[in-house]
Amino acid sequence: MTRHAIVTGASRGIGRAIALGLAERGYDLALNDIAAQDGDLGETAAMIEALGRRCVRVLADVSQLEDCRRAVREAVEGLGHIDVLVNNAGILRLAMIEEMTPETWDQTFAVNTRGVFQMTQAVIGHMKERRYGRIVNIASLAARTGGPGQAHYSASKSAVVGFTRVSSMEFAGHGITVNAVCPGIILTEMGKNNLRDPERVAYFEKITDVHRLGQPEDVVGPVAFFASDDSAFVTGQALNVDGGIFYS
């Protein structure tokens, strides 16, 4: 039976890599992003269709509850059912604590944390009816150890790890696992916020055991594992995918 997955924030970066990686592994996809990213989302969809997989696009803002409910409805209507939810959508706008506005704090949590909650809440009834589900939340190494200008981002991703743990407790009896992946320094548009000069690049290359920065494709394998039946006895975990920066 073909598995079906919905990936949020799938227009580029890690989200696009995950969507393509799942398609290469035989999944049909529902791709989500905001309307402003529709062009890039269309490119992702074309790549997936070129691989011979079915694909539907769902424009929705995960910070908005009704958008999340509609996104899941459209995904189910387009694919027939959803087996996997990958909560990848996220934002990072650097701001030092003394200068940060409440609006910046709230917007970060609205997308990074509330979006995970709302998409999970929207899909969980469908998964419980089918007695099967895999939820993979994309957190961040910032949940373990952030950096200056990332207090809001670090806090939001720490909350995702906590949410993962408790939701795994609530859903495990229904055949549903919930796990998180914590990427380190990944070369995406958002990740480049940490790479403002050559010295920063050299620093992260030095402290990473494999002595290189991550590519979006480096995140795919761990997500695919959590999305598969191979991980049926793994739930409530948060896996660092950082080349060996942090150990816990």
Coil, strand, or helix at residue 28?
strand
Task: Tell me how far CA of residue 186 lies from CA of 13, 105, 119, 123, 170, in angstroms.
Answer: 9, 23, 24, 28, 31
Nearest to 176 by CA among 114, 219, 240, 129: 129
Element (H, E) at 7: strand 4-7
Place of tokens 């929705």: 60
Q: How far apart are CA 193 and CA 93, in angstroms?
A: 8
Residue 153 appears among annotated catalytic residues? yes
Q: How far apart are CA 58 and CA 31, in angstroms?
A: 6
Task: Determine which one of 27, 153, 203, 247 is catalytic.
Answer: 153
Q: How far apart are CA 27 and CA 81, in angstroms?
A: 12
Three-state SS letters, 52-70? CCCEEEEECCCCCHHHHHH
Residues 13-39, buried b or exposed e (16+ Cβ, 10 A)? bbbbbbbbbbbeeebbbbbbbbeebee
**Catalytic annotation, residues:** 153
